[in-house]
Structure 1
Amino acid sequence: MNSTSRWMAGLLLALATTVAFAHEGHDHGAMASTAAAQPQRAQLATTAAFDKAGRLWVTWAEGPHVVVASSDDFGKTLSRPQRVNPQPEPIYTDGENRPKVIASPDGALYVSWSRPLDEPYTGFVRFSRSLDGGKTWSAPVTVHHDRQPITHRFDSIAVDSAGRIFVTWIDKRDLLRAQAAKQPYDGAAAYYTVSTDRGATFAPERKVIDQTCECCRIALAPDADGHMVALWRNVFAGQIRDHALTTLPVALSADRAPLAIARATFSEWRVDACPHHGPALAITADGVRHMAWFSVMNDKPGLFYSRLSADGKPIGGAWAFAGSAQAGAQASHPALLATDSALWLAWKQFSDDRMQILLRKSTDGGAHWTAPASVANTNGGNDHPQLLARDGHVFLSWRTQSEGYRLIDVTSAVTANATLEASQ
């Protein structure tokens, strides 16, 4: 088996662990999903957040509606789902492209999603807000000013400490321009917009960079100074699909100079395709950027962890945190969380005919990590893991076909005297 066959086999094995979803296609011919996903599968693609008062909010799609539900008992019971979009519309519901809910420090709630259009791989990024604690939701709006029937999808949303809303997405307007001019263009582009008035309006969008991966989510995280940082899978020269990172300015119209982009990972994975596998990002108080990501390194697919300093310099090398090469090939979709006292790293791993969620913890800024601890498992379809924090506790948010929605307190899953492993 040649190197191309080996990485493809590993990639397919990793993607096969995400059996909950019909993966969206990209322009290199991956499997395509339809706008009308099966309701049972659509409900697996779930996002959750704690609001300012500590209430849990959960969002997913039920047919042509984005719905939200709340919980005051840590997910044991959910309120009756409330429709965010009263008028039905198609909704992307695969693992990398799903409805999302976030809570602002000022108490507002925001939901975003991508709406498919008639042509394959096209979409608009949609947004709704609640300023009354989830009682009512605004009529959905499209956040970008460009309304061409092209790719605007794989949205990510985050809010900074000042309450400003950042929305990023994958966009193909520049690919169309290049094609019209008969110029080469790899991948897509990343764009973003900002709202400084609690979602009442959004500034005209700004391009982050050309030539990004077409179907991988963009990770967003605020740093200690309140700046929003974005991490995405980029297309470097020679179809190298490593990651890049930048800080997103709040003022989009004042300065259109190119953003300062730093290369963030160095696996040198050469592949003319999109793995549907976006990175995870967490930033600690010292400004260090902590990253977890899927890649193929030295012909071996797996999950990796690495760090960048606040000024963009690598700290050590990449660490394959999911175990052996065989196990790592079956590991996917990592989640990262930074709390005041620790870093938390969770991921999916298929083992013994069951999907498990494994967890590691670091209390020294990512230099050493505890051995993996299994915190949940299922034998059916399942969503990607999400980590949440509230009142000094860390929770796994996870939905499975067999068990439904679960919020699991994993704070004590790793013991204080657990064996540590160096990340370098």
Structure 2
Amino acid sequence: MDALRKWAAVWAVGFSLTQPLMAHDASGDPHAAHGMQMDMAGSKGGKDGMGGMNMGAAAAKPAKTPLATGAAFDAKHRLWVAWVEGQHVVVAHSDDRGHTLSPPVTVNAMPEPIYTSAENRPKIAASPDAKTIYVTWSMPLDAPYTGMVRFSRSTDGGATWSVPATVHGDRQPITHRFDSLIVDGQGRVFVTWIDKRDLTLAKKAGKPYDGAAVYFAVSTDGGQTFQPERKVADHTCECCRIALALDSEGRVQAMWRNVFEGQIRDHALAVLPVDAQQPVVPVRATFSGWHMEACPEHGPALAITPDGVRHMAWFSVVNGRADVYYSRLSADGKPIGEPWAFGDTGKPDEQASHAALIGQGKTLWLAWKDFDGDTVRLMLRRSDDEGSHWSAPRTLAQTAGGSDNPQLLDDAGRVYLSWRTQNDGYMLVPVEEAK
């Protein structure tokens, strides 16, 4: 079976399941761990007496511990890690580069359901002065595929957390989920998410509308308040994570899987302006021409080098080959070179997915999951010439059980890989020391 047929078979099996597929990706099924499933997320249940939402009888059955984990370093080199326990987001920190973690602290005192797919994990970030820590997550509502984007912050080193707030003003029981979080050099907090308010309006008007939309909100006061949300783009994929990165000018750029005319599921980019008077101008970023009338739940990764070139890692089917690809887009929006299937290790039975990408100056690191039917391996390539040439792939870690998607983290010039597995728990691997 070739790569495309193999991927399609896995996707078809996943789509037929009655459980939310995102629970498989994050709860420990090794065959779902390579991550090419549709997101059928959404839990059913009634409101609890305190205004939250419980998971309902269907979701009350015993479940494996979610593995979806967010991580980030602050400016004082402390590692912050966020994950989900039951109906609570919890946060721990490490001052010895992940060898030990502090006892976890609960973020949301009142329980609420939380999405825990690897594409929709809790996010964590720190202010530039490391005095404030921010966490976001997506909270399911009663109906499938719906949710609210939630936010909390700590101003006392993670000891206590603010009462969670909903970031967006729109409170319809529709899709607001797949949140992403980043803090710029001036301490402004950006949150993006997938939103279906425009689809809802189109349906009411009897008009066609493909996919969903990407929205964002900005806080300029350290997370105390958020400006009214703004739309980035219409017609986006419904359940792929949004990649965020800072460019050399300190601007936040977002990358997402878009729905172009003819149900082409390529990617787009845009700068997210702080000033509400500045327009958001999306540009097409990838050109694979993949026709797919569904969402693969497989978002991109983005890094921006000092010359303004956008370096992108993304999953697609190109010329019949399902793989993870690397490509570049110049500062003025022109493709550089041809997309390259970096997950091609010469072994046809292996499936690459869910890449992470990070850059420092002219150096880039590219990590991804590789699945051979039994074992998930985390692979790494490095480029020292802004993506023109890449090293051979090498293995950073592996597991025969379930696992989260990898993250690459930068701490003052040192790069680490953050990963949680069912068998080994949380690990932080220095990429230059990995064997």
Do Structure 1 and Structure 2 share a fold, with TM-score over 0.5? yes
Question: What does 1:179-258 align with in structure 2 at a 5 Å threshold?
Answer: 179-252=203-276, 254-255=277-278, 257=279
What is the CA–CA distance in structure 1 between the aligned matches of 2:232 and 2:71, rounded to whole Å? 27
Q: Deviations over 1:385-417 (max 9, x none)?
A: 011122332111100000000011111448xxx
- 1:8 CA displacement: 2.2
- 1:341 CA displacement: 5.2
Contact 1:10 1:301 survives alignment (8 Å): no
Specify the SS of the correspondent of 2:187.
coil
Q: What does residue 8 of structure 1 align with?
A: 8
Which residue of 64, 67, 82 corresponds with 1:44? 67
- 1:327 CA displacement: 4.4
Q: What does residue 292 of structure 1 align with?
A: 313
Q: Deviations over 1:1-43 (max 9, x none)?
A: 99996762375699999754488xxxx9864464548887443
Match status 1:404 vs 2:435: no
Contact 1:7 1:299 survives alignment (8 Å): no
Matched length:
407
Q: What does residue 267 of structure 1 align with?
A: 288
Aligned pair in 2 of structure 1 residues 371, 203: CA closer, same or farther (>3 Å)?
same
What is the CA–CA distance in structure 1 between the aligned matches of 2:316 and 2:220, rounded to whole Å? 36
Specify the SS of the correspondent of 1:265.
coil
Q: What does residue 131 of structure 1 align with?
A: 155
Q: What does residue 175 of structure 2 align with?
A: 151
Q: Deviations over 1:196-248 (max 9, x none)?
A: 00000000000111100000011000101011100000000000000000101
Aligned pair in 2 of structure 1 residues 142, 175: CA closer, same or farther (>3 Å)?
same
- 1:329 CA displacement: 6.1
Specify the SS of the correspondent of 1:96.
helix
Match status 1:387 vs 2:411: no
- 1:101 CA displacement: 0.5
- 1:106 CA displacement: 2.2
Contact 1:47 1:60 survives alignment (8 Å): yes
Q: What does residue 418 of structure 1 align with?
A: none
Which residue of 396, 399, 420 corresponds with 1:375? 396
Q: What does residue 334 of structure 1 align with?
A: 355
What is the CA–CA distance in structure 2 between the aligned matches of 1:3 and 1:74, rounded to whole Å? 37
Contact 2:38 2:296 survives alignment (8 Å): no
What is the CA–CA distance in structure 2 between the aligned matches of 1:13 and 1:409, rounded to whole Å? 36
What is the CA–CA distance in structure 2 between the aligned matches of 1:241 and 1:260, rounded to whole Å? 19
Q: What does residue 101 of structure 1 align with?
A: 124
Q: What does residue 419 of structure 1 align with?
A: none
Contact 1:42 1:94 survives alignment (8 Å): no
What is the CA–CA distance in structure 2 between the aligned matches of 1:266 and 1:369, rounded to whole Å? 22
Q: Deviations over 1:44-97 (max 9, x none)?
A: 100111111111110000011000001111111111110000011110001111
Contact 1:342 1:364 survives alignment (8 Å): yes
Contact 1:7 1:300 survives alignment (8 Å): no
- 1:135 CA displacement: 2.1
> What TM-score results when the alignment is normalised by the length of structure 1?
0.90
Q: What does residue 141 of structure 2 align with?
A: 117
Structure 1 counterpart of 2:429, which letter? I
> What TM-score results when the alignment is normalised by the length of structure 2?
0.88
Specify the SS of the correspondent of 2:118.
coil
Specify the SS of the correspondent of 1:294.
strand
What is the CA–CA distance in structure 2 between the aligned matches of 1:388 and 1:196, rounded to whole Å? 24
Contact 2:263 2:292 survives alignment (8 Å): yes
Q: What does residue 52 of structure 2 align with?
A: none
What is the CA–CA distance in structure 2 between the aligned matches of 1:70 and 1:6, rounded to whole Å? 40
Which residue of 367, 386, 398 corresponds with 1:346? 367
Compare 323-332 and 208-217 and name the one that shifted more.
323-332
Contact 1:11 1:329 survives alignment (8 Å): no
Contact 1:7 1:296 survives alignment (8 Å): no
Compare 148-157 and 405-414 and name the one that shifted more.
405-414
What is the CA–CA distance in structure 2 between the aligned matches of 1:352 and 1:118, rounded to whole Å? 35
Match status 1:305 vs 2:305: no
Q: What does residue 301 of structure 2 align with?
A: 280
- 1:147 CA displacement: 0.6
Question: What does 1:78-89 align with in structure 2 at a 5 Å threshold?
Answer: 78-89=101-112
Q: What does residue 65 of structure 1 align with?
A: 88
- 1:130 CA displacement: 1.2
What is the CA–CA distance in structure 2 between the aligned matches of 1:37 and 1:217, rounded to whole Å? 26
Aligned pair in 2 of structure 1 residues 301, 105: CA closer, same or farther (>3 Å)?
same
Aligned pair in 2 of structure 1 residues 38, 249: CA closer, same or farther (>3 Å)?
farther
Q: Deviations over 1:250-282 (max 9, x none)?
A: 022x35x5x221110011000100000000001
What is the CA–CA distance in structure 2 between the aligned matches of 1:327 and 1:285, rounded to whole Å? 36
Aligned pair in 2 of structure 1 residues 305, 87: CA closer, same or farther (>3 Å)?
same
Q: What does residue 202 of structure 2 align with?
A: 178
What is the CA–CA distance in structure 2 between the aligned matches of 1:328 and 1:261, rounded to whole Å? 37
Q: What does residue 90 of structure 1 align with?
A: 113
Aligned pair in 2 of structure 1 residues 304, 2: CA closer, same or farther (>3 Å)?
closer
Structure 2 counterpart of 1:138, which letter? S
User: Over the residues paired in the alignment, what is the CA RMSD in angstroms?
Assistant: 2.6
- 1:380 CA displacement: 0.4
Structure 1 counterpart of 2:196, which letter? K
Mark the runs of 5 or more structure 2 residues left unpaired by the alignment: 16-20, 44-54
- 1:328 CA displacement: 8.2
Specify the SS of the correspondent of 2:119.
coil
Structure 1 counterpart of 2:352, which letter? A
Aligned pair in 2 of structure 1 residues 205, 213: CA closer, same or farther (>3 Å)?
same
Contact 2:216 2:230 survives alignment (8 Å): yes
Aligned pair in 2 of structure 1 residues 10, 264: CA closer, same or farther (>3 Å)?
farther
Structure 1 counterpart of 2:123, which letter? K
Contact 1:189 1:208 survives alignment (8 Å): yes
Percent identity, aligned pairs only?
60
